[in-house]
Amino acid sequence: MKNNDFEKLCIKTIVDYYNSRVEITDGIKISEENVYIVWSCKTLQNNKAMVSTTISDGMYYELTYNGDKKELYLDAYKKWENKAIKIG
């Protein structure tokens, strides 16, 4: 899959994923404009991307396309903390 097509697929997948799981009482639905690619790469027939949204819910998404099996895998993570650790 071409990288541009993969990134579009990632964005659509996250919009659908988020909108199908957001609590109805929140009243928030996102569109493609709320989703952005943080990092993306292509190796041989496979693609991987780290994706986030403009919603401040701490969620982070990793999508992997397996070109051999024509499957897209989605991992959804919650960011708990970001802190600096001094080394040396």
pLDDT in tens, 60-78: 999 999 999 999 999 999 9
* Segments making up each domain of the chain, as ranges: 3-78
* Report field, pTM of the whole predicted structure over 0.85: yes
If one counts every other C-beta atom within 10 angstroms of the C-beta of residue 45, the result is: 12
If one counts every other C-beta atom within 10 angstroms of the C-beta of residue 6, the result is: 23
pLDDT in tens, 16-44: 999 999 877 677 899 999 999 999 999 99
Q: What is the DSSP letter of 45?
A: T
CA dihedral in degrees (41, 44, 45, 48; nearest 10)?
-20
- Token pair recorded at residue 87: 């080394």
